[in-house]
Structure 1
């Protein structure tokens, strides 16, 4: 399922054969479309189209190109249309210094007015920005509230601009121009956390390769998703799932994913045994948003699955490159279930099973569990996360206090001598001593991998 978060379905290129356009979208698995208004007439058109089609939603705003045509009734016009239940955002709004079709001072005034109105209506905003980031960020920051949220459509900024956008809690969406040969946007796309990314066509403009030069339409969203999957080293299914969930969170379009026991990312199948953990890591979203790449893996203790339920959820394990015990909780808290599932998987022919752990199993069970893992677990990935006991505790807040770090190191040493592969991972959280952690991995004899902060899964 894909969501086109930014289309102009009322433009003549699409409106004249809209039924066919929507049928094409459905065939391409583009399930929902957000059609965008840019002035009085197109705002009304957007609402009218959304009212007619169940899978179309509308956003109403005032484009910077048309800022000079706005009057004192602008807020009333938008406010009235925004009462419609299918209006999901205020947009598109923003600044455009590239074409300068309206005086810049008027653009800035209209943008600020629209931000204030969005705050009043508690709606997200859809922002257009070309060659105006400095002024736009200033106005946006002046109007930020705790409830402010939104997305930068057809994002064309660099990595510095991306950082500011993310710092303010906004998302970005990418369109067909990322598919063009030698696109200068690729480094920015690569740096964008997938959990902060949405898809759009901006149709009838920005047609993706190989249809560049022809009319764009929502059915081409999968072409953009394919390029994003290539850059992010994910599957198209991963991109569809995550970007659709992001659109759901921001606009309320679509549905929230149901809770999963197992979840696929790339060609690996992950098993969520529990949401309980002996750590309360500073960067962990376990309590606030227990989603990974669009999968809902949060659970209460009473919802923890049995070995039989897990095996049913796994289905045919031969279709995956590896099976991974992970989730937001610590898998070794459910050691017996994990071992039983591992044995059943090995008996069915699974070649590679990985355990992602905080390395505190010795303290959890008050014994050495490494012998239990031999022959069942092929790779142990241990979250190291800092280079000294004090620094480690400051970040992970382990229930075991100062004992946790040394126990983790000793666990890793025994794993290195008994298991085929051991990896220390470190989240690139601000201030973490990455090189100090790398040195520990070298001393222990483990491999070393850095996990990007804000990129889960």
Structure 2
């Protein structure tokens, strides 16, 4: 498992006595990478020195709004030179506004904030933004200074869901600190529930904002695991899912090199093991995200080749503690019917539950009724129905089978129950789709129905 602490003030006297032990505890907690965040000239230099000394630490440089009043031309130039001096500098920040403590006059805070946004745009670096009781001004300045050109992070997010969505639309991500574990902070938990996990980071902001159950003690990077656990609970995902996804998000926004990618054949989401055996699909659904990228819940699913039986079994054997095996990658699994049958037979020999997610056009694709061939091998089949009539289906799914495509899916659903114990029809909640009509059709076809959230994959 990988976790990244995306915002840590892990320098200075707070850690002078036991820094090696802090790093070791972080490693034991799964924290493979951290971002040391500068808040003034001195701490920016310390963060840079730390990043240069440790391959798994990156840094940011900037001036916090508390220190805005003392910013000078020399300060800006020093931050600029630090940003240019090393590839380990991945952002400009911590910058922003703090209208709660007002330790610098608000006009000075705004001027410094604007200057650093312009610097970030000049250097093509993302921003790390502090916002305390200044949500409206933060958003106004981000728009006025065209901050969407570089994007960045709203760290220790304290706004509401509407603000979070506005930030995301501007190319920013939302970073969740240990305060999400505080019993009284239901507002932040509402934001976590309402924001897609692909737009979330996790952080400690150490030595501050220590999560429960260590509240009142010094915070440190290892404790980001506690934040990730709470986010996982709120999102209905596993800790491993959150670690993988938020680490990918952090590396992407800060342009930190990704680990070497390999073709993903078997991958875990929650407690299910998914098998990615082809990227081929006859349909070209308008809502399919693979036309933007091949990443699902932090897994890269673009295959370098279609795996054979031995490769699939070897990939399965690297995993453990799953409740079912699902044929569902970024392609139509039943396009490789023979492989599905061969692998499913081995899985049933092992006593495992097998599910197939399909577009329901396998009979059209193979020119015969293939469902009897799945009897005894597949426990559940989930079919993407997605429409209640042929025209809507063609508009959304771009099937190569024309009107026969929609009829074929309906016929497949009717027939499936004769051979497979559980049959489910699903529909993606595409805007303007009458989901109730699709549900009614599924009931007429004698199968269960499940809504799938639009733009939410996995």
Give the shorter-chain TM-score range: over 0.9
8 Å contact from structure 2 (residues 294, 302) kept in 1: yes
| C-alpha distance 145-96 of structure 1, shift in aligned 2 (>3 A) | closer
| C-alpha distance 299-318 of structure 1, shift in aligned 2 (>3 A) | closer
1:165-314 to 2 correspondences below 5 Å: 165-184=167-186, 185-253=188-256, 255-256=258-259, 257-300=261-304, 303-314=305-316
Q: What is the aligned partner in structure 1 of residue 419 from structure 2?
A: 418
Q: What is the aligned partner in structure 2 of residue 61 from structure 1?
A: 62
1:2-21 to 2 correspondences below 5 Å: 2-21=3-22
User: Secondary structure in 2 aligned to 1:286?
Assistant: helix
Q: What is the aligned partner in structure 1 of residue 163 from structure 2?
A: 161
| C-alpha distance 151-353 of structure 1, shift in aligned 2 (>3 A) | same
TM-score norm. by structure 1 comes to 0.94
User: Secondary structure in 2 aligned to 1:418?
Assistant: coil
| C-alpha distance 348-33 of structure 1, shift in aligned 2 (>3 A) | same
Q: What is the aligned partner in structure 1 of residue 123 from structure 2?
A: 121
8 Å contact from structure 2 (residues 69, 105) kept in 1: yes
| C-alpha distance 317-16 of structure 1, shift in aligned 2 (>3 A) | closer
Pairwise CA distance, 1:114: 1.7
| C-alpha distance 157-450 of structure 1, shift in aligned 2 (>3 A) | farther
How far apart, in 1, do the equivalents of 2:403 and 2:48 lie? Answer: 59
User: Secondary structure in 2 aligned to 1:215?
Assistant: coil
8 Å contact from structure 1 (residues 32, 253) kept in 2: no
How far apart, in 1, do the equivalents of 2:315 and 2:277 lie? Answer: 12
Between stretches 384-393 and 48-57, larger displacement belongs to: 384-393
Q: Is structure 2 residue 81 aligned with structure 1 residue 77?
A: no
How far does the alpha carbon of each residue in 1:112-169 deviate from its partner, in whole angstroms, 9 at most, with x for none? 2222221221111112222222222222223337752212111122221121122223
8 Å contact from structure 1 (residues 317, 345) kept in 2: no
| C-alpha distance 107-443 of structure 1, shift in aligned 2 (>3 A) | farther
Pairwise CA distance, 1:16: 4.4
TM-score norm. by structure 2 comes to 0.93
User: Secondary structure in 2 aligned to 1:82?
Assistant: helix
8 Å contact from structure 1 (residues 259, 295) kept in 2: no
How far apart, in 2, do the equivalents of 1:19 and 1:400 lie? Answer: 63
1:118-157 to 2 correspondences below 5 Å: 118-144=120-146, 147-157=149-159
Between stretches 214-223 and 94-103, larger displacement belongs to: 94-103
Q: What is the aligned partner in structure 2 of residue 361 from structure 1?
A: 362
Ranges in structure 2 where 5+ consecutive residues have no aligned partner: none
The count of aligned residue pairs is 454
1:356-395 to 2 correspondences below 5 Å: 356-395=357-396
Runs of 4+ more than 6 Å apart:
none
8 Å contact from structure 1 (residues 193, 454) kept in 2: no
User: Secondary structure in 1 aligned to 2:289?
Assistant: coil
User: Secondary structure in 1 aligned to 2:417?
Assistant: helix
User: Secondary structure in 2 aligned to 1:123?
Assistant: coil
Ranges in structure 1 where 5+ consecutive residues have no aligned partner: none
8 Å contact from structure 2 (residues 12, 46) kept in 1: no
8 Å contact from structure 2 (residues 332, 358) kept in 1: yes
8 Å contact from structure 1 (residues 378, 419) kept in 2: yes
| C-alpha distance 445-68 of structure 1, shift in aligned 2 (>3 A) | farther
How far does the alpha carbon of each residue in 1:62-107 deviate from its partner, in whole angstroms, 9 at most, with x for none? 2222222222344422221112111011111222222222233332
How far apart, in 1, do the equivalents of 2:429 and 2:65 lie? Answer: 38
| C-alpha distance 280-94 of structure 1, shift in aligned 2 (>3 A) | farther
How far apart, in 2, do the equivalents of 1:113 and 1:269 lie? Answer: 48
8 Å contact from structure 2 (residues 117, 147) kept in 1: no
Between stretches 379-388 and 354-363, larger displacement belongs to: 379-388
